Chain A
Amino acid sequence: MTVLSAKSLTKIYGGRDKENSTHALNGIGINIEQGEFVGVMGPSGSGKTTLLNLLSGIDRPTSGSVEISGVSISSMGKDELALFRRQKLGYVFQDFNLLDSLSIKENIMLPMILDKKAVSEMEDRVREILALFDIEAIADKRPYNISGGQQQRAAVARALVNNPAIVFADEPTGNLDSKSARAVMKCFRRMNEDMGCTVLMVTHDAYAASYCKRIVFIKDGEIHMEILGKGDRKEFYDRILDCLAVLGGEQNDL
């Protein structure tokens, strides 16, 4: 079943007709099936984050359409879109995006709180998720009192709390050391494999990308190539490096 389907997405910053306008995306089309774990890679400025923002409804395309679970989000109003994001989508960002004034447990619960779910339902769900990601011990702590890795695991937990159709992740390991990054990526894999959750992740980190099942490489606002994982992560990692070398610009990241 197709969870996400985007057709001919273009995004032009600075107006269509102006000379100094920037074409961030040039007619990208992408389909993501239920249970997929897709990575988007590409050099800096290739349009990765723009693509993620358009697919997840944070930003609107200049032209083209996005459908998630058969619903077109391109035609939704502001409030409708906000509700859709809250109920159907999950997000994980590089800067964790946790609220300092709330405890970890409350942060995780927040999408359900905004959705006015029943107390027992919220508490059961949060308990279950805290256990899944092994972060029960920090449930009552504030974000600024725990490590970056723990914060990102809490953010992953929050992205899952509303049983989203798809989780979007933007450089989730960008701010983390390699050990924390590994722990966070294991969370993503568990969420994808054990819970059947569909994930779309933007990253420039080849190690993080090796946890994906499919990688889409983009360059200059267009899809350049795609590779599929065959189960062996080490082998997949090497192929990703090769593709990056072909793509250029990312060799120094190794």
Chain B
Amino acid sequence: MTFRDIAIRNFKAHARRYLSFFLCSCLTVMVFFMFSTVYLNDGIEKSLKSNTRDVLNASIIAILFFSVLFLSYAYTAFARSRKREFGLYMLLGMNSGAIRRLLLMENTIIAFASLLAGLITGSVLARLFFMTVVNLLKLGDIRYQFNILTYGTTVGVFLAEFLIILLLSDIIAGRAEIIDTFKSGRTAEKDWLRHPLFGVAGLCILTYSLLLKYLYTVGLVEVREMSSVFVVLCFTGLYLIVSQFGNVLEALVKKSKAMYYRNLPGISGVKHKIFRIKTVLFLIAMFSAITVYFIGTALSTLIQADETAESEQPFHLAFVEKGSAGGIPDKELEQILNSGDMKPAEQKNIEFLETEMASGLDYKFKIAALCEKSFNILYDRRLKIEEGRYIMVCPPEMSMSEGSHLDFEECILSAGSQTFHLKLDNRITERDLNKVKYLSEILLVISNSDYERMKTASDPSRIGRLHLINYEDWHRTSEISAELETRLKQADGSSMRDMYEYGHFPVLGSRVATYRQIRSEGSLMLFLTLFLGALFFVASASIIYFKLFSEIDEEREKYRKYFLIGILEKEYGKYVTGELLVLFFLPLVIGAAIALAYGCIDLKFSPFRFESMAYLALVTLAYLAFQAVFYLAAKQKYINDVIGV
């Protein structure tokens, strides 16, 4: 019998084991391929706004990360089940080199077969996936394209992953010992990293990471690379908690001997099972935290699009006319604003002066100055201000921290060749204005006479006019907004010459356009997170399921031992129910708790924090409900299979 014969016979004998590994690889290739058709499409590349691009980037990273973990897990589970087999081969006189060659041959076949199958199924489904994304983003004219790069990337990425797996399998084969034939299964029990204190340490680390995030959010501590620090700390803590849960539980219950003995079979089962699949449980907890958080965020983004657009664009339309920029002839502007049956319900024209502010330091920046009268019109106030003094007006989100470094007791404003020394009168917070090009976020208010003097001194191109327009129903202003934007872009000769260092604001601040953008980004994010979430859910559920059922012989043996001692079926059922409950829900509950805690901290300053938290909670409940259905189905089958009903 040649070596090839052995490989082929081996393949046939363990077809089911190979099949599950093959299917896992195939699924991963397919999903990656589908994502890359969107990611690498030229048309999408050009028309995406940066935020949407970020969502897509994050998804592709998640997919990549997921595929590495999923594949390597599927492989390790597959390889572990074969340790005995290798031991037996060695017992029969096969050397480890021959085993390595056997593995190499098998894995190469699986790698290429699953790559091929994944690409074929991916190609079929990619078009559907692509259309959905294009539809959600309202990018009607982009076509699905056959892109050789998509195939190239997928093949490249997966060959690299399979190569890593081959190396891994080589190590396993290299370490295979005859003794494994007899020991595997029982050796997993021994592990030095088993102590409840590790679990306590994990809880401390996790709590610390959340505390740090909180302090960072409220501005009490400064941390470089906060998100990376948080991720590392949080997931380290999570791993320790999940892997040591059984030991911690045991240590806690042991405090009461009666309770410990009463639940001994259940506790020892939980401890044993958790330890066997701690890495899987950790990954599930991590992914559920991420999924719950992002689905919740996407959902709340989508549902609050109205309110968010309103808070970002307080006026329905806003733009600045300055020099040639925004200089649309009045008649034309009127025509645009009054198109169809729409008529502006409110219109404000506020004049301001672009000045340079300095505080005696070298640092100068451009800032818009308003006269007292204009300010009062803008905000419907009755503010009085003395000559030689100024008031600083900050938007609400800036009043906390950023504005403070501009809080000069005395400032020097330059207009043309002249300079004006002014003293701070007061610093006030006013509601936001639309963020538009040529208008600074912080405004200065000076007395009417100071303003006139500065205006005379300055270049006429520095005089700006802020147009603020409201309609009865802003939802119907899409066409007006689009036309005005086109016209303003034509008139704006400055292109990228943005006067303010912070932020590149659009020429037109339009509520309806912002609303549409939020909606399309939110839909895409929701679609992607739901897609990834569902994929992940199915993958993790099947991993738990396969793990449970691949070790069912061990459980049957355990039941047989209990049966001989005289356990009742319902008693055994009770213990197993407890074990499975922990296995199915522990990672989900911890993951969701982290997502909720993180969301709570992250949304601390959001005006929609309660609504957003409600959505996060809703997603958590939905997730738990799905898992519950799956748990109930798996539990009954498992118990029946073990007891042999």
Contacts and interface: CB of A to CB of B under 8 A. Distances in A.
A110 B565 contact: yes
Q: Which of A93, A97, A98 has the most CB of B within 10 A?
A: A97
A113 B189 contact: no
Contacts of B264: 102, 106, 110, 113
Contacts of A93: 564
Interface in A83-112: 83-87, 89, 91, 93, 97-102, 106, 109-111
A24 to B, nearest CB: 20
A144 B558 CA distance: 15
Contacts of A122: 261
Nearest to A86: B566
Contact of B567 (A87, A97, A114, A116): A114
A149 B408 CA distance: 88
Nearest to A89: B566
A91 B558 CA distance: 16
A85 B562 CA distance: 11
Contacts of A109: 261
A110 B575 CA distance: 14
Nearest to B259: A119
Given A102-B264, A109-B261, A116-B262, A142 B189 contact: yes
A154 B272 CA distance: 22
A79 B568 contact: yes
* Interface size class, chain A: 20 to 34
A142 B188 CA distance: 13
B87 interface: no
Nearest to A168: B564
Interface string B552-563: 000000100111
B196 to A, nearest CB: 16
B565 A85 contact: yes
Contacts of A118: 258
Contacts of B565: 85-86, 91, 97, 110-111, 114, 158
A82 interface: yes
Contacts of B570: 79
B430 interface: no
A144 B272 CA distance: 14
B186 interface: yes
Given A79-B568, A82-B566, A82-B567, A101 B186 contact: no
A101 B271 contact: yes
Nearest to B257: A119
B594 to A, nearest CB: 29
Interface string A66-91: 00000000000011001111110101
A97 B557 CA distance: 9
Given A116-B262, A119-B258, A142-B189, A101 B272 contact: yes
A122 B260 CA distance: 13
Contacts of B564: 58, 85, 91, 93, 97
B262 A144 contact: no
Interface in B67-113: none
A170 to B, nearest CB: 10
Interface residues of B, number: 24
Interface string B258-296: 100110110011011000000000000000000000000
B334 interface: no
Contacts of A158: 565
A144 B186 contact: yes
A118 B558 CA distance: 25
Contacts of A116: 262
B611 interface: no
Interface in B547-585: 558, 561-571
Q: Give the most central of A111, A116, A119, A142: most B CB within 10 Å.
A: A119
Contacts of A99: 268, 558, 561-562
B506 to A, nearest CB: 64
Contacts of A102: 264, 268
A68 to B, nearest CB: 13
A100 B186 contact: yes
Contacts of A83: 566, 568
Given A99-B561, A101-B268, A102-B268, A79 B261 contact: no
Contacts of B268: 99, 101-102, 106
Contacts of A113: 261-262, 264-265
B271 A114 contact: no
Contacts of B261: 109, 113, 119, 122
Interface string A101-145: 110001001110110101100100000000000000000001010
Nearest to B571: A114
Nearest to A122: B261
Interface string A29-67: 000000000000000000000000000001000000000
Interface string A187-226: 0000000000000000000000000000000000000000
A142 B561 CA distance: 16
Nearest to B187: A144
A85 to B, nearest CB: 4
Interface string B207-241: 00000000000000000000000000000000000
B324 to A, nearest CB: 81
A160 to B, nearest CB: 13
Nearest to A118: B258
Contacts of A79: 568-570
Contacts of A119: 257-258, 261
Contacts of A89: 566
Interface centre among B566, B567, B568 (most CB of A within 10 A): B566
Nearest to B272: A101
Q: Among the interface residues A98, A113, A122, A158, which one has the most CB atoms of the partner chain B within 10 A?
A: A113
Contacts of B189: 100-101, 142, 144
A98 B258 CA distance: 22
A110 B261 CA distance: 9
27 contacts: A58-B564, A79-B569, A82-B566, A82-B567, A82-B569, A83-B566, A85-B565, A93-B564, A97-B561, A97-B565, A99-B268, A100-B189, A101-B189, A101-B268, A101-B271, A101-B272, A101-B558, A102-B264, A106-B268, A110-B265, A110-B565, A111-B565, A111-B566, A114-B567, A114-B571, A118-B258, A119-B258
Interface of A: 58, 78-79, 82-87, 89, 91, 93, 97-102, 106, 109-111, 113-114, 116, 118-119, 122, 142, 144, 158
4 interchain residue pairs of minimum CB distance: A86-B566, A85-B566, A101-B268, A101-B272
Given A85-B564, A87-B566, A114-B567, 13 more contacts: A58-B564, A82-B563, A82-B566, A86-B565, A86-B567, A99-B561, A101-B272, A102-B264, A106-B264, A113-B262, A113-B264, A113-B265, A116-B262
